[in-house]
Structure formats: structure tokens, C-alpha cells
Structure 1
Amino acid sequence: MRSNRLTVLRGTALVAGLSLALAACGGGDDDKGDKGGGSGGQSLKGVNLELAAVWTGAEGAGMKRVLSAFERKTGATVKLTPTGDSTATFLQTKIQGGAPPDIAMLPQQGVIAEFAKKNWIKPLSPEVQQAVQANYAKVWQDFGTVDGKLYGVYFKSGNKSLVWYRAKAFDDAGVQPPTDWAGFAKTVQTLSDAGTTPLAIAGGDGWTLTDWFENVYASQAGVDKYRQLSKHEIKWTDPSVKEALKTLAQVWGKPTNMAGGASGAQSLLMTQAVTSVFGDSPKAAMVSGADVVSATIGGETKSKVGTDAKVFPFPKVGAQPPLVGAGDAAVMLKDNKGSQELMKFLASPESAAEWAKAGGYISPNKNVDLASYPDDIQRANAKAVIDSGDNFLFDMSDLYPAAFGGTKGSGEWKRLQDFLKNPSSVDATAAGLEADATKAMK
């Protein structure tokens, strides 16, 4: 795996992005030249394509906007097929059954490498490569490259170092958004003392717990350790891992800190966690989640982002606050004209702007006009990702093989779910993580 994936953005960049410096969030690239939007006309009339992705609900609706724009542009028909939580498992089954989709969105960078080495995905044409080179920072090109060949177009990215909060709960308790872990722990206690459950933790979705761990670990252990652990160059039994687990236990270890207690958190899904904070009958004050939370707030509740629902950077544990992000890459499982044209379209600013207008989405495409995003918070988050350039910190669990970092009910997801249930099991959790990582990396 490439070492240049993992560099922590310094705290000033993240804080500046979330303080909504509106003057800096102006329009995008003024170049009106061809940025790789597809051939146009009705060149694909009668062509049927299938794109598989994990997205449903608001995210699925956003992707359908993109595909509808492609259909209008080319005359093709594109079916969006949900993969369920484990995209890699879904695709493996389809491939082995001889019925893969034309294109799939892979949420784990490690899976791109796995699939490329098995010849399950196809390299991109020179034309698509040119579109990627024109519209993406080098780091995003590297993320989609395996053994010198470009396979992936990163269509969606995200800022996972955010905590969303209900403004009224903070106002009633007389607290302000914290900047460090000590302040965060104090805020949790103050909210609890005021009679408000502090957190909705979506333990039913194991990936949310990996985000908690990565944010703590990136800030506490530092970038070098993060790099080493992401490539399994150090063991998960390293003292730095245990220290991060102990830090999480400071908040996770008290059942009254989370909606439904430890048992309730075990089954709470991310959408449910968001609505439990911002819905009509709120049950908690905060939820840690990526920028896409804004779409759930807008689609599932009556709360308004920026007024009822606000956000602060994940609190720093060490010297610098973290910025952990992720991305979903489009890859081709079938090499045909339709697939290549759709890949070229997905690499264009035009396609990304379609979803950006709907909200709940950030594109790593540097030529997307920031005015496409519907509110200041989303514009600031998008700008933070673009401004990070080659200094983007990729989600650690997505860098591992899916068997460890991306499979429901096993690997890191399951180990951290068990740890949420029993936060005193630091040594056992670390040993289990190491055993699972070792097995997955073979």
C-alpha cells in the first residue's frame, strides 16, 4: 500500500473550513473547457447498464440524479442496484455467478487492489484517464491506481472527523462545542447532569465505531503510527492501540452516556442515531458522523442544518485535531463503450454537481463549483477536502482488506462492537484485532 495516503491535515485547515469562511467558499474553476463529461448526443441509445453501490435512501436518490443526467446526455438506461452493507461480498457473488454489474462503487480502497489483482475490474481507457488527471489531485489518482494502472474514479468523498449536535440541548445545558478530548468528556458529563443523554452511538453499524477509533488514534498516536498501523507494520496489540481504546472507554464506559445504554447502542443504526438526536422526540444531544449526516437530517427530520443542527470538528486527543476521510470509487467490471462513457461522465464536474445540489455529498473533483452545494456547512466541508489536496487522510479500515475492515459481523467492525459492549476488555480487544488483521492480510 502507498505511504502517501496518510497525512493528517493540520488543525487550522479543518477549523477554518468549519468556521465557514464564506469568502473562501466562492465559485470553482472558471475554465469552461472539456473536463471529461462524456460524448453527449444519443450515442448510447438502447444501451442498458447496471451500476452497483451501497447507497440507498437519500444517498441513493442523489446517485439516481447523477445517472438520470447521464441518461439524458447519452440515451443510455442505467439501473442502480443496492449492494447491502458488504459491497465486496455482493460483487464477489455476482462475479462468481457470471452476472457482474457493469460498474460498481467500491467504498474500500483496499478492495480495489484486491479486485485488480484478481482481474475482476478493468483498467480505464486513456480518455477516462485524461479526465481524471484534469479533475483530481494526484492523491486521488493514486488511490485508484494498482501496479501503475488506473482502475478507479473517486466519485464521492467525505469528512468523517465531525460531531453533529442539537443546538437547543447545548444551549439548555450552557455548554459550547469542545475542541479537545478533555473538553469533550466534560461536555458529555455536563449534558448528562442536565438530564440529557449526551450521545447517540450507532453501534449497530460497525463502521461507525471504526471512525471513532480512527479519529482518536490519528490525533493521539500521530500520523507516523497511523501510517504504520494502516499497513499492519505495527501490531494491533501495540501500546498506542491500547491507549486509544482506553481513551474511547472514558466515554463509552458509562452506559448513561449513550441513548439506549450499551445494549441499545449495539443495535442502533446510523440513520436511527441521527433521528434520535434531531427528530421530533430527541433522545440524545450529539452524534459523531461524516458530512453525509446533513442529508439524513434534511431528509428524515424537521431540523435545519446550521440552526437546529450544528457541527464541530472531532475533538483532538493529542496535539492536532484529526481529519479522517473516505471515498467511494467507481470501477469497471465490464469493459464496453457504455461503461467507459459512464466512467468518463463520473470523472466530470458536471456529474458531481448533480448530487452536490441535492446535498449530503462531497466530491473530491477539484473543478466542481462550490456554489453547487446547498448550504455553507457543506460548502466548507467540500472546500476542506479539496484544499487538503495530496494531504488527505484515508479511513484506515478502508485501507485493509474487506475481511478485516469492511465486513458486517466480523473483523474490526465486530471487535469494536464487542468493545462498546464491554469497554474494559482492552487487552482482549487488541489481541482479537491483531488476530483478525493477520488473517486478512495473508
Structure 2
Amino acid sequence: MKHARRVGLPLGIAGVTALALTGCVGDTAPSSSESPGAAPSGDCAEYADYGTFEGAEVNVYGTILDAEAERLNESWAQFEECTGIDVVYEGSAEFEAQINVRVQGGNPPDLGIFPQPGLLASVAGTGALLEAPEGVAANAQEFWTEDWQNYGTVDGTLYGAPLMASVKGFVWYSPSVFEENGWAVPTTLDELDELTASIAESDVTPWCVGFGSGEATGWPGTDWVEDYVLRTAGPDVYDQWVAHEIPFDSPEIATALDRVGDLIKNPDYVNGGIGDVSTIATTDFGEAGLPVLDGTCAMHHQASFYEGFWPEGTTVAEDGDVWAFLTPGTEAGAPAVTGGGEFVGAFSDDEEVVAVQTYLSSAEWANSRVSLGGVISANSGLDPENASSPLLQSAVEILQDEATTFRFDGSDLMPGAVGAGTFWTGMVDWISGGDTQSVLSTIEQSWP
């Protein structure tokens, strides 16, 4: 989701961390009307190309809340000091619905942080979003792969660059429990099946799983399916499935879902520390992995962002309380991952709005935000060392590795009625006893 236009290209310096907020605008900073492009001194020099503004305000609307919203505001604090732009962020759990209401009511934000490319595309279809300005387009080409650029592109027009990212398909486990039992991290899906069977013979349940997420219940199940479609059927079939060039209930999709079912619908394999298979549908995804810590379950499938769900004091490291490996492929050493991210789209082309949008597409911003902790970005100008943990550093390296086959979360790319509708509810029906073919056929029939 993207923006408007530009006020000078950013400098593109990698490795920038959060800097001291000193001597930036104040009485010495000229307004853009007085001397645009004047170079501030000291720490503000790297922001000179964005321009300087007196009393300008840019409002940004998105889904990011609570502590993450505080870090977001901190990530652009020096940019505000040095440019004179007040970036006012509003977070909402109702963004997906309210962004359409605000657009239709003629009251859109200056910038929207879209959590799904599909939503970006639907809003772009109204004509309300503006084409990405020159600076954003240049940053997108420099710092993101063609795939990531395409996720912010609708009918050949780039509307913006990505913001943050996540790597999905991690399997969280306790290194000490694995070591005590002689269990090795699997390198193929077959080995993962074998490991699951071995764990089931011990006094530990192999998997703990939760599909619960309030009104969004079911989405963790879609992540399982997407991971397995990509790994068992390959990226071409994955793309065809997401674009509905093949039916949702195609044999390749049924095969992937059945293979997931072999693990998480088997009463001997789930739901460690929680209950039986029936508890998966109602167990909150954020709490579902916690039995890993007390050894009542061995593994939990969830994205890189799950690091933030472990209790305070939990050490996330290869020799710590918890660690994670990527769901492997059918062959060893075949890196294929699904993931997600946000995109910034603009409803205004005012110079200060363009400046903010361009900054958010830069390597400087990516390094500033990631250094504050808890998130990663697919921006190639990001220094992995700025990530706040070894796990997140490895996730950045996965995204930056040219050998990685990356695909965006499929449900986020599908029409909302499916991706955030029947696909979610279908996973609840399936885990609650529905058979694979009937569930997939129902989702197929719902495709608009």
C-alpha cells in the first residue's frame, strides 16, 4: 500500500540505528517555503533531502496498536525533529472496514498502512489511492525484490513500497527437551513426520495448536495450508491457487491439507497441554504455544512475530528456553517460506505527505524501526544485526537470501470474502471434523 510523490530522494544509508533527538528543527530550521532543501547540521544532515517544513502535519492510519504503535512513533521521531513534520499515527483494530468507510465518506487519512495487498488493491480500485511518487518507486526498486514490489502494484501501477515483514512457518520448540530426548531438527517434511511419530511414543505430545483469534478465528489454519501448498506443490501452483487460476479445491491443495491433517487432526499428536483435537478451534493462537515451555508439547507452528508472545524472561536462543526452525521442504536445503507485511498507500500528494511516505520506504527507516525491537523488514538495506534477537536476525537473513523462494500469505492476497472469510471459517470447520474435499469445495464455491 503506497503513497503520493516526492520531495527529494532519501540517502539510503543502511545500518542506521535510533539516533539522539538533538538539535534538529527548533529555531534554526528553515521552512520549506523559505529555503527548501537546505541542509541541516549534525544528526539532521541525512534528512536534508526530504525538505524542511514548519508546522506541517501528516496523519497515518493503520492496524498497529499498543506497544508496537509506541515503537512506530519512536521510529520516526528524529525525522519529525529534523523536517518539522508532525506525524500523527492512529491505530485501529477495525482498519480493514473503516478505511473503506473513510474513503467513501471523503475523509481518508494522508497515509494508510495496509496489512494485506488484497485490501490495497481493492482500495486502489476506487481511484482514491495515488500512484507511488518517484522517491518511493526508486526505493522499492533498490531495496525490495520484484516479488515484494509486485505486492504493492495493482494493474501495473506501483502504489507504494512495503514497510515491515514477518516470516511464517517457524516451528517453535524447547532445545533442552529436544536434547534430553535425542530429537534432531528435521531437514525435510518426511523427517518432520518421522519426528512427530517418535515424539508421540514419549510422554510428550508432539504438537500444540490454536486457531482462535476472536473475529479472525481460523487464520492460523490458513498459514498451515499455505506453508504446505508452497512446499509440496511448488511456487507456480501456489501462485495459480492464490490467483484462482486453478480451483481452490484442486488435487494439489487437497493433498497439502491432508498432509497437515496427518499431523494436527491425529489425536495422538495434539493438543499437548491443552486438550484433544476439538480444542484447537477455540484455543487462542497467542496462548497455544506456551505448553512448549513446560514440556507438555514439543512443537508449535507460528510466525517469527510469535517471539513476542513468550512470557517476559523467556530466552529465545539456540541454547535458550525456546528456539525455532523453519518448516522444511520436501527436499533438504530447499528454502521456501511464506510471510506477511504491511504496505503504505497515500491519499494525498502534499509535499509533506510525500516526504513521510518516501522516508518510510527507505533503508534509514527500516533500520531505525527494527533496531527498536520486535519486528523485521524485507528491505535489503536493513542490517540484520539491528534485529533484536538471533531468531529475528535469522529471519532477516532468510528474507535477504536470493536463494529463498518467498511467497506472501495467500489469504492476504485473495479476495476478502475468501481470504478473510470462507478460508478462515473453512479451517474451523475442517479442524472440527469436516472432510478435506467438502471444506475446500465450499470455499471454492464462495469465490467471487
Q: How does 1:218-237 map to 2 (within 5 A)?
A: 218-237=230-249
- For residues 297 and 369 of structure 2, the distance between their equivalents in structure 1, rounded to whole angstroms, comes to 30
Match for 2:425: what amino acid? Answer: K
Identity between Structure 1 and Structure 2 (%) = 25
C-alpha displacement at 1:235, in angstroms? 0.6
Q: Is 1:425 equivalent to 2:439 in the alignment? A: no
Correspondence for 2:304 among 286, 291, 307: 291
- For residues 380 and 175 of structure 2, the distance between their equivalents in structure 1, rounded to whole angstroms, comes to 32
C-alpha displacement at 1:40, in angstroms? 6.9
| 1:171 equivalent in structure 2 | 179
Verify the 8 A CA contact 1:173 1:190 in the aligned structure 2: no
C-alpha displacement at 1:420, in angstroms? 1.6
| 1:19 equivalent in structure 2 | none
| Residues 58 and 286 of structure 1: CA distance in aligned 2, closer, same or farther (over 3 Å) | farther
Match for 1:272: what amino acid? Answer: E
| Residues 317 and 90 of structure 1: CA distance in aligned 2, closer, same or farther (over 3 Å) | farther
Verify the 8 A CA contact 2:136 2:160 in the aligned structure 1: no
Correspondence for 1:411 among 404, 415, 422: 422
- For residues 364 and 117 of structure 1, the distance between their equivalents in structure 2, rounded to whole angstroms, comes to 26
- For residues 66 and 201 of structure 2, the distance between their equivalents in structure 1, rounded to whole angstroms, comes to 36
C-alpha displacement at 1:318, in angstroms? 6.3
C-alpha displacement at 1:229, in angstroms? 0.8
| 1:82 equivalent in structure 2 | 91
Q: TM-score, normalised by structure 1?
A: 0.81
C-alpha displacement at 1:217, in angstroms? 1.0
After superposing the two structures, state which structure 1 stretch, 331-340 or 384-393, moved more. 384-393
Match for 2:424: what amino acid? Answer: W
Q: Is 1:55 equivalent to 2:64 in the alignment? A: yes
| 1:137 equivalent in structure 2 | 145
| 2:31 equivalent in structure 1 | none
Cα deviation 1:295-336 (Å, max 9, x = unaligned)? 333x74523333222111203246845322222111113332
Q: Is 1:111 equivalent to 2:142 in the alignment? A: no
Verify the 8 A CA contact 1:53 1:82 in the aligned structure 2: yes
Verify the 8 A CA contact 2:187 2:331 in the aligned structure 1: no
| 1:368 equivalent in structure 2 | 382
Cα deviation 1:285-304 (Å, max 9, x = unaligned)? 3221222223333x745233
Q: Is 1:126 equivalent to 2:144 in the alignment? A: no
Q: TM-score, normalised by structure 2?
A: 0.80
Verify the 8 A CA contact 1:162 1:312 in the aligned structure 2: yes
| 2:191 equivalent in structure 1 | 183
Correspondence for 1:158 among 144, 162, 166: 166
Cα deviation 1:98-146 (Å, max 9, x = unaligned)? 4322222222222222211111311122233233333333333232222
Cα deviation 1:192-222 (Å, max 9, x = unaligned)? 4333233232301322211110111111122
Verify the 8 A CA contact 2:337 2:405 in the aligned structure 1: no
Match for 1:93: what amino acid? Answer: V
| 2:317 equivalent in structure 1 | 305
Match for 1:146: what amino acid? Answer: V
- For residues 99 and 300 of structure 2, the distance between their equivalents in structure 1, rounded to whole angstroms, comes to 31
- For residues 62 and 255 of structure 1, the distance between their equivalents in structure 2, rounded to whole angstroms, comes to 42
Verify the 8 A CA contact 1:157 1:326 in the aligned structure 2: yes
| 2:365 equivalent in structure 1 | 351
C-alpha displacement at 1:58, in angstroms? 5.0
| Residues 80 and 300 of structure 1: CA distance in aligned 2, closer, same or farther (over 3 Å) | farther
Match for 2:426: what amino acid? Answer: R
| Residues 159 and 274 of structure 1: CA distance in aligned 2, closer, same or farther (over 3 Å) | same
**CA radius of gyration, larger in:** 2
C-alpha displacement at 1:29, in angstroms? 5.6
Q: Is 1:387 equivalent to 2:401 in the alignment? A: yes
Verify the 8 A CA contact 2:177 2:295 in the aligned structure 1: no
Correspondence for 1:266 among 278, 281, 288: 281
- For residues 339 and 75 of structure 2, the distance between their equivalents in structure 1, rounded to whole angstroms, comes to 22
Secondary structure at the aligned position of 2:325 is classed as: strand
C-alpha displacement at 1:389, in angstroms? 7.9
- For residues 65 and 95 of structure 1, the distance between their equivalents in structure 2, rounded to whole angstroms, comes to 28
Q: Higher relative contact order at CA 8 Å, sep ≥6: structure 1 or structure 2?
A: 1
Please tell me the root mean square deviation across aligned C-alpha atoms, in Å.
2.9
- For residues 283 and 79 of structure 1, the distance between their equivalents in structure 2, rounded to whole angstroms, comes to 45
| Residues 169 and 358 of structure 1: CA distance in aligned 2, closer, same or farther (over 3 Å) | farther
| Residues 305 and 56 of structure 1: CA distance in aligned 2, closer, same or farther (over 3 Å) | farther
Secondary structure at the aligned position of 1:330 is classed as: strand
- For residues 180 and 99 of structure 1, the distance between their equivalents in structure 2, rounded to whole angstroms, comes to 51
Q: Is 1:399 equivalent to 2:404 in the alignment? A: no
